Amino acid sequence: MSWHITADLMDAYLSGGLDPARAMSVDAHLGGCPDCRAAVPYEEDRLRDSWQRLEAEVLSPRPSPVERLLRSGGVHEHVARLLTATPTMSGAWVAAVVAALAFAVLAARESAAYLPVFLAVAPILPLAGIALAYGPRVDPVHELLASTPLSGARLLLVRAAGTLAVAVVLAAGASPLLPAPAWLSAAWLLPSLATTSCCLLLSSRLPVPVSALATGGLWLLGVAAAGGATGDLLAAFGLAAQIGYGCAALLISLRLYSKVNA
C-alpha cells in the first residue's frame, strides 16, 4: 500500500462522520491493508455478538410460503413449522383430495342422486390424511421423533389438525358447486369433525392407519345403513343426525384434551 489512513481520517471514519464516498474508500482500503485494519479498535464481545448475528442471519431457515401464511394468520412460529413438515402435507395428498372432491362434485352435478356421495366422501378425506400423517410406515424420521417429549398424541393432534384444516378448506371450496341448498351442501362438516376426533381417540389404542380405516369404514356403513333403513340416502345428514355428530365431536374432543393433558 502506498498510503495509510491517518489518525484524523480514522477518527472521522469510526465516528461515522465521513461522507459515503470517502467511507467506501476507507472500507476498500481496510479490505486490502492489514496494517490499517489492525489499527481499527474493536471490542471482543461486540465483535462476537456481531458475528453471531451475522451467522444467525445466514443460517436461519427461510420460512416457506405456507409457513408465512400460517404465521400471518396468528399461528405460533414453532407450530407453523410443525404443521408444514407433516408428511401428509404433500402435493400428492392435496391432489388426491382435490381429485376426489372434483369427482364427487361432477357426479352430483350430473345427477342430484349422487349428492350423498360427496357428503359421504368428504368426512373420509381427513381420515386418509391422518392415516398418512403419523407412524413408522409413513414418516421416515418417526423413530427419531418418537423419543422426543412432543411425540405421540401431541404431535399426532397437531398434524391431524393441519390435515383436517386443509381437507375442510378444500371441501368448503367445493361445496358451493353442489346442486343443493347451502345447509345441505355443508352437511359434511360436523360428520368430518366427529369422524376425525373418533379416529384420534381410537389411535390411543390402535395404530393410526387402523384407527382411520375402522372409523372410515364405520362411517360409510352407518350412512349406508341409515339410507337402507329409511329409503333416503340423505337420512344420515338430517338435523337430528347433525346434532348427534356435533355432540359426539365435542365430547370426544374433550376426552382427547383430557387425555393429552393427563
Interacting residues with another protein (CB under 8 A): 52, 55-56, 58-61, 76-78, 81-82, 85, 139-151, 155, 262
Comparison of 82 and 115: residue with beta carbon closer to another protein? 82
Comparison of 93 and 237: residue with beta carbon closer to another protein? 93
Comparison of 28 and 141: residue with beta carbon closer to another protein? 141
State in angstroms the smallest separation of the CB of 12 from another protein.
Answer: 35
Instruction: Give the type of residue at 249.
Output: A
Sign of CA dihedral 188, 193, 196, 202: negative
Comparison of 25 and 151: residue with beta carbon closer to another protein? 151
State in angstroms the smallest separation of the CB of 256 from another protein.
Answer: 14
In whole angstroms, give the CA distance from residue 127 to residue 217: 11
Q: CA of 87: how far to CAs of 124, 173, 249, in Å?
A: 18, 23, 25
Q: Which three cell numbers stand for residue 32?
A: 486490502
State in angstroms the smallest separation of the CB of 55 from another protein.
Answer: 6
State in angstroms the smallest separation of the CB of 85 from another protein.
Answer: 6
State in angstroms the smallest separation of the CB of 58 from another protein.
Answer: 8
Comparison of 187 and 202: residue with beta carbon closer to another protein? 202
What's the number of CA atoms in the CB half-sphere (13 Å) around residue 201? 18
What's the number of CA atoms in the CB half-sphere (13 Å) around residue 244? 9
- Give alpha helix (H) positions in the chain: 7-14, 20-32, 34-39, 44-59, 65-72, 77-84, 91-110, 115-121, 124-131, 142-145, 153-174, 182-185, 189-202, 208-230, 239-260
